[in-house]
Amino acid sequence: MNSTRENIMSRIRRNLTAVDYATIEREKSLQQSNPESYEMLHKQFNDALEKVGGRVVRCTKKELPVILSQIFSKTDRVCVESTPYLHDISYEGFSLEGEPVQSEGGITTCDALIAETGTVILSGGENKKKVLSLITRTHCVIARPEQYVSTLEEYFARLQKSDVDWTHKTSSLTFITGTSRTADIEKILIKGMHGPRELIVVLVGG
Amino acid sequence: MHLNANKFKAHSKEKLHDKQLRKNLLNATYSALAARAAVVDEITNWEELRNRAYSVKRHVIGHLAQYLEEFERNAVSHGIKVLWAETADEANELVAQIARKRNARLVVKSKSMVTEEIGLNKYLEKQNIEVVETDLGEYIVQLNDEPPSHITAPALHLSRSQIGELFSSKLNTEYTDDPGELAGIARKILREKFFSAQMGISGANFLIADTGSIVIIENEGNARFVTTLPKTHIVITGIEKILPAISDLPLFLRLLPRSATGQLMTSYVSVIQSPRKSKDTDGPDEIIVILVDNNRSAILGDSVMREVLYCIRCGACSNICPVYQNVGGHAYGSVYTGPIGSILTPSLYPIEQATVLPFASSLCGSCSEICPVKINIHHLLLYQRSRVIEKRLSPLVERFIFSVWKTVMMSEFLYRLALRSSRIIARLWKRKGSLSVPVWSATRDFPLPANESFHEWWESQQIKNN
Amino acid sequence: MVEILRRVGVEVDYRTSQTCCGQPAMNTGYRHDARAVAARWLKVFDRSQYIVAPSGSCVGMVRNLYNELFEGGLSEDQKALCARTFEFSEFLVKILKIYDVGARFEERVTYHDACHLLHELGIKDEPRILLRNVKGLEFVEMEDSTRCCGFGGTFAVKFPELSTVMVKQKVAAIEKSGARYVVANDSSCLMNIEGYLRRHQSMVKSIHLTEILARQ
């Protein structure tokens, strides 16, 4: 194994000896960083998410159980993440399922909402059940207004600043932009190919 | 995959007669281009983005050894294993060894062109390991025992009824040609495979050096299944997929989905850091990255061709190429099709096996213009042509014709003589106001030479004025 | 072209020893042959103030490919010479800043963007500006005006079926536009399109940009 690696590396080095490329100029940001107001971020996120087949619902923490019961009115077996925030909500109107594998609906929290593209970011970790965003038919994300970020660039900049060690702490990040989809048959758009057919972001508070 | 690139002429002729294929192709490519235009037009600094992407790729490829080491170091520190393979067979054997050790009978796969390039599926199947493609388009072409015909839309050459017949015959299901129902059939079958497979194999769209991340983008969710459910996850990727830093990723995520499918972002992007951690409820127990060379390091030694390694596999060049639009991917006889395939194939494989591809283009230059990382594809086509000539792989007759051409063009006298004689010959050869010229005249009229060459007109003017 | 340039007050010279810029050989991969012919071209045009050609592909070859062909072996003078080589509409509009050459052509005309002109030299607006200022000319854009006509030099004879399909698609767009004339800045494109138009007895005719601009 080591000799294969060495063979490859030495050939790479040998073939690149004459190369002299300056470092990449990264100081100039290619992204406009206008501090957007919360309402503008929300509108941008809402419009972008609707375009990709998702939707946003706003409510207070008090209204949350009713909203969730509406969302899952036709769904049996909803599995909920075990994070503290979701723990003290009284779920009503649908049956709770302990095992993600058996569930049709899933409720998770998220790490961030990217306004520009309508993207929801989830990370793996303790008490999380990220797989619910994959194997269910209806995925519901409980989010808070502070989680809005304008662009992906900004998200990573914040992440690197706030948690230098993030690369060790989480097993993976997943960016979700709308529903699962395919156009592999005659370019006809079909939603919910392998992943959820429905994505709802419930924005609590704000 | 077995290379059949030198049969392009015969294959393309055949495809031109396939009305269904041509209808699908024009529809698919034109709609992809329209979708792309809509989301590219709204970016005011698209050119700047392309320039930055080119310089990032130029930098990372130019310092590839250092960045590969950095990636390996960081990935390993998170518990990811990193292996290296010089050749296709070495890579295949590494996978087979792991499969044997883990007693893997069933493997689920998400899209990876490198695995097509090295022929992984057939290699594993020979060892009695069942390999199931899980991207819908790839699943379809796997059932049909043929290679994909487009980088991002593998089954675009098939109609819904053809897919319907394929499913009913191979899967013993009731015939339907409704796309939604067909997708539903595939979903049910593949979900069962996801949950029972011992091993998942994926490619990688990007590897990030400073965070040791594996980045996979997709729309269906099958790659997430493949990289989450089975206990063992193997990533097979070319060594050129590295980006220097996670802060570079948003730029490429801005360029790739827009260029490929006209989306702002694909439905899912996975940034994989490690196998499942102790408190995780899901994720593989182990992740192994196999870095495949297979002649990429040799391409690094060609300072002109080097930039072919910048490709991010968006497929936009295929979508805009009028040749591809009319014949589709299978005509190219290679894993890598379209304009990028025409320059990559004669460098990744021995050039004798792909001498025709660089000539299968009218050099219109649309590919270079649409490439999000600014690879100068049409100039590289010209370069590959000169490599074919340098290796003396062009027909003798053609070489002779150009020697004669050169001799004539080097002499004013011979040039003038040639023009004058062509006029005389034309007068003798003409029929109904046009010339009969081999090949050309089968479908088009050929004009008669003008009665007076520009030079003669000029000289007569000079005489008049003097 | 000479008539038009003289009409707008430009002194025109023609180097009678000129033959070719070398592009056909370059395009087919015969760089050795192309280099010899290109070197001769540079000598023929030595010490010209401006070099103007009614063809985007020739100019594209000189401006964009000579440097690659000579692998960095061009002298500063030679590089400057290449930089002073212009396509005709580019020369009128960008260098002379002339948008109206006093032409008259009372027909409905559509414009085909020749590939080298568009992709090598970036010339898209200049021909249109000149055409729009021609008296009596009705200008219509065809669909996919920038799509290749299928000539591509040796491509047309190496892959004739493909080439014919492409020119067929181009002619369909031309006819759909309702124009009676299709104009372009490149004789190869025009020969290709005209060849198909005549074989299929189309009502449309092809014409070079300079021919329109010369009419008064």
Q: How close is the nearest chain A Cα to the Cα of B133, in Å?
A: 13
Q: Which chain B residue shows the shortest CA-CA distance from A199? A: B267
Look at residue B349 and tell me if it is in a domain. yes
Q: How close is the nearest chain B Cα to the Cα of C97, in Å?
A: 26
Task: Assess whether B52 and B105 both reside in one domain.
Answer: yes
Quick one: average pLDDT of C9-20? 90
Task: Assess whether B76 and B120 both reside in one domain.
Answer: yes
Percent of chain A with pLDDT over 70: 91
Q: Which CATH number fits domain C108-214: 3.40.50, 1.20.1070, 3.30.300, 2.60.40?
A: 3.40.50
The domains of chain A are located at 37-204
Residue C20, pLDDT score: 92
Look at residue B164 and tell me if it is in a domain. no
Task: Assess whether B225 and B284 both reside in one domain.
Answer: yes
Residue B39, Cα to own-chain centre: how many angstroms? 22
Quick one: average pLDDT of A188-195? 93
Residues in chain B, pLDDT under 50: none
Residue C200 touches chain B, beta carbons under 8 Å? no
**Encoded tokens for C171:** 């002619």
Residue C40 has pLDDT above 80, yes or no: yes
Q: Assign A206 a pLDDT band (cuts: 50, 70, 90).
A: low
> Using CB atoms within 10 A of its CB, is residue A133 exposed (0-12), middle (13-18) or buried (19+)?
buried
Contact (CB<8Å) A14/B49: no
Q: How close is the nearest chain B Cα to the Cα of A113, in Å?
A: 13
Residue C94, Cα to own-chain centre: how many angstroms? 16
Chain A positions touching B295 (Cβ under 8 A) are none
To the nearest 10 degrees (0 to 180), the angle between helices B64-77 and A2-15 is: 150
Residue A132, pLDDT score: 95
Residue A27, pLDDT score: 63
Look at residue B94 and tell me if it is in a domain. yes
Domain with CATH 3.40.50 in chain C: 108-214
Residue A34, pLDDT score: 64
| Distance, CA of C40 to CA of B410 (rounded, Å) | 7
Instruction: Please name the residues in contact with B213: beta carbons below 8 A apart, sequence gap of 6 or more.
Output: A167, B75, B206, B207, B246, B271, B272, B273
Cβ–Cβ under 8 Å, residues B239 and B296 = yes
| Distance, CA of B148 to CA of B153 (rounded, Å) | 8
For residue B270, the surrounding DSSP H or E stretch is strand B268-272
Contact (CB<8Å) B440/C28: no
How much is the pTM? Answer: 0.94
- Predicted confidence (pLDDT) per residue in C171-190, tens digit: 999 999 999 999 999 999 99
Contact (CB<8Å) C27/B385: yes
**What CATH superfamily is the domain A37-204?**
NagB/RpiA/CoA transferase-like (3.40.50.10420)
- Predicted confidence (pLDDT) per residue in A96-113, tens digit: 888 888 899 999 999 999
Residue A28 has pLDDT above 80, yes or no: no
End-to-end CA distance of chain A: 56
Task: Assess whether B294 and B361 both reside in one domain.
Answer: no
Chain C positions touching B364 (Cβ under 8 A) are 115, 119, 147-148, 152
Residue B100 vs residues B104, B105, C21: alpha-carbon distances, Å: 6, 9, 62
> Which residue range forms the structural domain that includes residue B460?
405-465
**What ipTM was reported for this prediction?**
0.95
Q: Find the CB nearest B271 among A12, A172, A179.
A: A172
Instruction: Please name the residues in contact with C147: beta carbons below 8 A apart, sequence gap of 6 or more.
Output: B322, B364, B366, C166, C169, C170, C173
| Distance, CA of B310 to CA of A98 (rounded, Å) | 46
**Encoded tokens for C156:** 């047309």
Q: Assign C99 a pLDDT band (cuts: 50, 70, 90).
A: very high
Residue C182, pLDDT score: 96
- Sheet architecture: strand order including A119-123: A148-149, A112-114, A119-123, A172-176, B268-272, B213-218, B206-208, B242-243
Task: Assess whether B202 and B262 both reside in one domain.
Answer: yes
| Distance, CA of B225 to CA of B266 (rounded, Å) | 16
Contact (CB<8Å) B221/A194: yes
Chain B positions touching C153 (Cβ under 8 A) are 362-363
Q: Which of residues 46-85 of C touch B (CB under 8 A)?
A: 65, 68
What phi and psi values does residue A36 have, to the nearest 5 degrees?
-85, 150
Q: C28: how many CB neighbours lie within 10 A of its CB? A: 25
Cross-strand partners of B197: none
To the nearest 10 degrees (0 to 180), the angle between helices B64-77 and B46-62 is: 90
To the nearest 10 degrees (0 to 180), the angle between helices C31-44 and B396-409 is: 10
Contact (CB<8Å) C25/B458: no
Residue B138, Cα to own-chain centre: how many angstroms? 15
**Encoded tokens for B282:** 């899901």
**Encoded tokens for B264:** 């702002």
- Predicted confidence (pLDDT) per residue in C106-142, tens digit: 999 999 999 999 999 999 999 999 999 999 999 999 9
Cβ–Cβ under 8 Å, residues B264 and B258 = yes
Report yes or no on chains C and A touching (3+ CB pairs under 8 A): no
| Distance, CA of B207 to CA of B78 (rounded, Å) | 14
Cβ–Cβ under 8 Å, residues A109 and A83 = yes
Number of domains in chain B: 3
A99-103, long-range: CB within 8 Å, 24+ apart, which pairs?
A100/A129, A100/A131, A100/A132, A100/A135, A100/A136, A100/B281, A100/B282, A101/A135, A101/B195, A102/A77, A103/A77, A103/A78, A103/A79, A103/A132, A103/A135, A103/A136
Residue B401, pLDDT score: 93
**Encoded tokens for A97:** 């399922």
Residue B455, pLDDT score: 82
Residue A20, pLDDT score: 64
| HEC sequence for chain C | CHHHHHHCCCCCCCCCCCCCCCHHHHHHCCHHHHHHHHHHHHHHCCCCCCEEECCHHHHHHHHHHHHHHCCCCCCHHHHHHHHCEEEHHHHHHHHCCCCCCCCECCCEEEECCCHHHHHHCCCCHHHHHHHHCCECCEEECCCCCCCCCCCCCCHHHHCHHHHHHHHHHHHHHHHHHCCCEEEECCHHHHHHHHHHHHHCCCCCEEEEHHHHHHCC
**Encoded tokens for A50:** 């609707």
Q: Assign C86 a pLDDT band (cuts: 50, 70, 90).
A: very high
Residue A1, pLDDT score: 53
Four-residue CA torsion sign, C134, C136, C137, C139: positive
Residue A22, pLDDT score: 60
Angle at B344 between CA B339 and CA B348, to 5 degrees: 160
Cβ–Cβ under 8 Å, residues B264 and B257 = yes
For residue B412, the surrounding DSSP H or E stretch is helix B412-429
Residue C163, pLDDT score: 95
Task: Assess whether B11 and B51 both reside in one domain.
Answer: no
Residue C105, Cα to own-chain centre: how many angstroms? 20
Quick one: average pLDDT of C157-183? 95
> Using CB atoms within 10 A of its CB, is residue A87 exposed (0-12), middle (13-18) or buried (19+)?
exposed
Report yes or no on chains A and B touching (3+ CB pairs under 8 A): yes
Look at residue B156 and tell me if it is in a domain. no
**Which CATH number belongs to the domain containing residue B74 in this structure?**
3.40.50.10420
- Give SS3 for B365: coil
Cβ–Cβ under 8 Å, residues C205 and C92 = no
C193-198, long-range: CB within 8 Å, 24+ apart, which pairs?
C193/C112, C193/C149, C193/C167, C194/B445, C194/B447, C195/B440, C195/B444, C195/B445, C195/B446, C195/B447, C195/C167, C196/B443, C196/B444, C196/B445, C196/C164, C196/C167, C196/C168, C196/C171, C197/C171, C198/B434, C198/B444, C198/B445
Cross-strand partners of B434: B431
Residue B432, pLDDT score: 66
Residue A164 touches chain B, beta carbons under 8 Å? no
Four-residue CA torsion sign, B270, B271, B272, B277: negative
Look at residue B447 and tell me if it is in a domain. yes
